[in-house]
A and B are shown apart, each in its own frame.
Chain A
Amino acid sequence: MALNIPLTRGRAGAGREARRYPWRSICLFLGPALALYCAFIIVPVGMTFYNSVNRLQVFGASGIRYTYVGAQHYDRLIPRPEVTTQPAQMVAGVVPLTLAWGDNTFRLAVEHSLTWALVSPFLEIPIALLLAYLLYLKVPFARFFRFAWFTPVLISWVVVGIMFRWIYNYEWGIVNTLLRLVSLDALAVNWLGRLDTALPALIAMTTWKQVGFNLVILLAAISSIPAELFDAARMDGCNRRQILVSIVVPLLRVTIVNLLVLCFMGKMEAFAAVWVTTQGGPVYSTETVATYMQKRAFNWQTLDLGYPSAIAVIWFFVVFGLAMLFQRVLQRREIVEF
């Protein structure tokens, strides 16, 4: 026991001796990670903040000229609320304000990213929960299904994107082939090439890829609920649907909120899924904040890294803030421990 004394922390003790810390070892163990972390995460974050108040012009491979522009980029990017009298322009139809956007493409990108990030969780998680519950009810070959359905999670966006370009192909894609097979030719459209179907098609694609991920996590969580709870509910006359709604979902609250935040963040950052399929087109109808930033930085020949940096900073606060908010608001209620 005496051995434990120098090893436990002495903050609580009133007569706390000055503890000697093995600083050399601490530096040895933490040093490399912190160095790497600072060099490739913290310094770049700081630089992005600094760049966002400058105009950066790149000359050749190494020369970059900075011009301080203050909040100019933010002025253009952040929408200003203005009073309006026309109901059609009001926020949510009732608030007598309209948002004046300085950069209309950015506005579209924000709308698409938010739509994506708010719709996806309500597709992925319920589908995954239903399937997980199905597998939990001792379906034969449940292990095989779990194994098979997880496969898309492991595949890169590039491969998924190319496969879905084929699947959505107007002439010979599987979606249209099936629609024509049941004589719904009118519904067979160029899914990735139309303004109104491109974003939903991409949302369906991300759902396809991520359902297995949510499923495996939810199945693990359901399996960790003690069987007695299910038995008790069954004895009280609950059917399977009631068990799902009133036992499984409340008990899995922590996991579900975690998945929701993960899914939300993933879609707010969506880049590769768009880049390999539509590249933001047709006519910006699938532009996300990430793709717009990339284009402004490298593809538009605007030769300014400051403006996309300001986009990154704004988006950083939006994503980080909303993720924290969701965790706070949804996770706040006391958690049922089992």
Chain B
Amino acid sequence: MRTAQGAAAASRRRTLALASRRLSRLLLFIPLGVVTAILLGPFVWTLMMSFRLTNEINNNPYGLPIPFHTYNYTYALLPAKPDLLAMGEAVGIWPEATAAWLDRAGLENGGFGFGTYILNSILVVGPALVIVTVVTTMASYAFGRPRYDFPGRGMVFIFVFLSMFFPPQITLLSLFQLTVTYDIYNTRWALMLVYPATAIAFNTYLLRAFFAQIPTEIEDAARIDGCSDWGMYWRVMLPIARPAVATTLVFNFINFWNEFLYALTLVTKPELNTIPLASWRWVGEYYLDVGGLAAGLVVSILPIVVLYLALSEQFMRGMTAGAVKG
């Protein structure tokens, strides 16, 4: 009797404990949900506004995108009118026809032409990534392997590594002057060369540690097989270092893609603007066109968001590499 009662009480207690644990679990979701709402809310809001017309937004900034408009995206991506007329003519469409079509679409002056800036970003960031990867893997290989431990190598490495702690301002104004001297001011070359240079310190620091921990036996075996120094780097070490290179690639990609300060200072021609500069210029010109601007922002972050969705772990590893320990 007593035992049965006890068992019942115990089971009731257990249910109660379970229920309270469930409740505390649920309560835990409140702060988690709030944090998520704060951190992702602005993106959701921007996305919603990008599918609404600016006068709808002015009436109620928080309404749902009903009815659904893609006008803002047409405006963001469509080239400006003169470019569009020229493009039309090139494929045999009369300028009048193009202009009439624009009028019908409510885009008398054409669009903002964001495609140009995406292309600019790709044309700057792509070569910069190639340059920095080739140059820093080579240097890190020589910094990391015992075979190349010439006297003073440590000093050279520290000399390169220290620039990680330099504020960019210390080089900025002189780079402006130097790019004028080198005759690459206001060209894509300026950014294509400056970006890799700013990334050398961190990349070398990360990759050197990786190359240093590859066992010497691999090197010995390859050398017996008659591998040259270059062959050792290109055919043996670089393939082994692929995961570390992927990490630095992600890190560099995000930094170059979002870079603002050098792009602002070294390239002033609007037609060479990278995405961050173009978005910034857009705010300056059409701050009140909230819907159009929202579409522009969505377009400008889309490449990164898509890549992040596909390679999220890689991205987190890449962005945070080197800070966990060390």
- Interface set of A (CB-CB < 8 Å, partner B): 3-4, 7-9, 21-26, 28-30, 32-34, 36-37, 39-41, 43-45, 47-48, 51, 61-62, 64, 131, 134, 139-140, 145-159, 162-167, 172, 174, 177, 208, 211-213, 216-217, 220-221, 224, 254-255, 258-259, 262, 265, 268-269, 271-272, 275-276, 289-290, 293-294, 297-298, 305, 308-309, 311-313, 315-316, 319-320, 323-324
**Is the pair B39, A26 in contact by a Cβ cutoff of 8 Å?**
no
How far is it, in angstroms, between the C-alpha of A6 and the C-alpha of B149 when the chains are bound?
11
Docked complex Cα distance between A269 and B224 (Å) = 50
Q: Which residue of A lies closest to B216 (CB)?
A: A7
Q: Which of B258, B260, B275, B325 contacts A275 (CB 8 A)?
A: B260
Across the interface, do A26 and B150 meet the contact criterion of CB distance under 8 Å? yes
Contact B260 A271, beta carbon cutoff 8 Å: yes
CB nearest neighbor in A for B253: A154
B276 touches A305 (CB 8 A): no
Could you give 19 example pairs across A and B, Cβ below 8 Å?
A: A4-B216, A30-B143, A36-B131, A37-B200, A39-B197, A44-B178, A47-B177, A61-B185, A139-B28, A150-B319, A151-B40, A151-B43, A152-B39, A156-B279, A172-B61, A208-B38, A212-B39, A269-B168, A312-B173
User: When each residue 77-90 of chain B gets 1 if its CB lies under 8 Å from chain A and 0 otherwise, what string results?
Assistant: 00000000000000
B40 with A62: CB separation less than 8 A:
no
Given known A-B contacts A28-B230, A36-B200, A212-B39, A51 and B279 have beta carbons under 8 A apart: no
Kindly supply a per-residue 1/0 record for chain B positions 135-165, scoring 1 wherever the CB is within 8 Å of any chain A CB and 0 otherwise. 1101101110011111000001000100101
Provide the bound-state CA to CA distance between A157 and B169, in Å.
Answer: 17
- Indicate if the CB atoms of B61 and A217 lie closer than 8 Å: no
Closest residue on chain B to residue A276 by CB atoms: B280
Q: In the complex, what residue of chain B is closest to A35 when comparing beta carbons?
A: B135
Please tell me if B300 contacts chain A, counting CB pairs below 8 Å.
yes
Known contacts A134-B31, A217-B323; A319/B165 CB under 8 A: yes
Question: Is B167 touching A220 in the complex (CB atoms < 8 A)?
Answer: no
Cα distance, A166 to B38, chains bound together (Å): 14
Residues of B within 8 A of A24 (CB): 229
| Contact A43 to B146, CB < 8 A, known contacts A33-B204, A265-B167, A316-B167 | no
How far is the CB of B299 from the nearest CB of chain A, in Å?
A: 10
Whether B73 is near chain A, meaning CB under 8 Å from some CB there, is: no
Structural contact, B40 and A224, CB atoms closer than 8 A? no
The smallest beta-carbon distance between B266 and chain A, in angstroms, is: 11
Chain B nearest CB, measured from A237 CB (Å): 19
- Which chain A residues lie closer than 8 Å to B38 at the CB level? 208
Nearest Cβ on chain A to B269's Cβ, whole angstroms: 13
In the complex, the answer to whether A262 meets B260 with C-beta atoms within 8 Å is: no
Could you tell me the distance in whole angstroms from the C-beta of A288 to the nearest C-beta in chain B?
10
Bound complex: CA A174 to CA B195 (Å): 36
For residue B175, which residues in chain A have a CB less than 8 angstroms away from its CB?
Answer: 40, 44
> Which residues does chain B contribute within 8 Å of A26, judged by CB atoms?
142, 148, 150
User: Shortest CB–CB separation between residue B323 and chain A, in angstroms?
Assistant: 5
Closest to A155 in B: B301
Residues in B with CB closer than 8 Å to A319 are: 165, 167
Is the pair B146, A7 in contact by a Cβ cutoff of 8 Å? yes
CB distance from A5 to the nearest CB of B (A): 11
Given known contacts A25-B230, A154-B254, is B171 in contact with A162 (CB within 8 Å)? no
Q: CA of A221 to CA of B326 in the docked complex: distance in angstroms?
A: 12
Asked whether, in the complex, the Cβ of A315 is within 8 Å of the Cβ of B169, the reply is: yes
In the assembled complex, the Cα of A164 lies from the Cα of B167 at a distance in Å of 25
